[in-house]
Amino acid sequence: MNALKHIKILYVDDKKREEEYVVSELKSYCNNFIETDCCINAIEIYKEEKPEIVIYNVSFPEVSNEEFIKQIRSVNEKAQVIIATDNLDKKKLYDAINLHLIKYLIYPFNLNTLLDSLKDCVRTLDSNSSNVIKLSETLTYDKFNKALFKKGELISLSSKEVMFFDVLVKNKDRAVCYEEFNQIIWEGEMTKDALRSIVKDLRRKIEKTIIKNVSGIGYRIDV
């Protein structure tokens, strides 16, 4: 993660947790790492230091999660925000979509999980793109939280459906071949019937025209 050495990170947390060692480890990857245990100070620090990434614990009573992010985004609308929380419900995920929030981390998490989230942030900063993709008038996908919404409602997906759909979205400019699905989702043990079942179930849950079959090759997403 050499890219993190050139990124400024603000870490905001008012609790001493088991994850404290994770933060200590993270510092070895970052040359510009700022910590505070006060959300009011965090907003002032952000205005002064303008870090590219904020990692934020939502337990603060003084300022709501939404208000904190809005204040951060008033300084930099492209700010990357990772929120750490003890639990995550459908409303939080949908609010995250509206706020173009990058990632939720659920306690407990480890260093690798945190680094993966930070990699997502760096990719977004480099590409100047959003983690939220509008697939149609009714469908929205949050690619970092792997959450699919239809008319504002979170769609319940199986683990393999999530993996299949995520592969399609990540490769939205091309068709994904059968062998790629075989290796990524089934680790070499896929049957054509298993793949067709995934596609059939997904089409039933979302708009049928979103997932296109490419004869002799595989599938692509139509966005």
CB proximity list for 83: less than 8 A, separation 6 or greater: 56, 57, 58, 65, 96, 101, 103, 104, 105
Contacts of 187 (CB under 8 A, 6+ apart): none
The answer to whether 179 and 167 have CB atoms below 8 angstroms apart is: no
Sheet holding 218-221: strands in order across? 176-177, 218-221, 211-214
- Dump the DSSP string for the chain: -GGGGGSEEEEE--S--TTHHHHHHHHTT-SEEEEES-HHHHHHHHHHH--SEEEEETT-SSS-HHHHHHHHHHH-TT-EEEEEES---HHHHHHHHHTT--EEEESS--HHHHHHHHHHHHHHHHHT--SEEE-SSSEEEETTTTEEEETTEEPP--HHHHHHHHHHHHTTTSPEEHHHHHHHHSTT---HHHHHHHHHHHHHHS-GGGEEEETTTEEEE--
- Strand pairing report for 153-154 and 147-150: antiparallel
Same fold, 2-129 and 156-221: no
The whole-number pLDDT of residue 1 equals 57
Q: Is the separation of the CB atoms in 204 and 166 below 8 Å?
A: no
Is CATH 3.40.50.2300 correct for 156-221? no
2-129 — its CATH code? 3.40.50.2300
pTM score of the predicted model: 0.64
Give residue 45's pLDDT.
Answer: 92
Rounded Cα distance, 174 and 217, in Å: 11
Q: What is the pLDDT of residue 161?
A: 95
Domain ranges of the chain: 2-129, 156-221
Tell me if 182 sits within 8 A of 190, measured CB to CB.
yes
* pLDDT given at position 72: 84
Angle of CA points 108, 110, 114, to nearest 5°: 105
Beta bridge partners of 33: 9
**Contact (Cβ atoms closer than 8 angstroms) between residue 103 and residue 82:** yes
Q: What is the pLDDT along the chain (223 residues), one digit of tens a residue?
A: 567 777 889 998 876 665 567 777 888 888 889 988 887 888 899 999 989 899 887 665 566 777 787 888 888 877 888 888 777 666 666 666 666 666 777 777 888 888 888 888 888 787 766 677 888 888 988 877 788 888 878 899 999 999 999 999 989 899 999 999 999 999 989 998 999 999 999 999 998 889 999 999 999 998 7
pLDDT of residue 142: 82
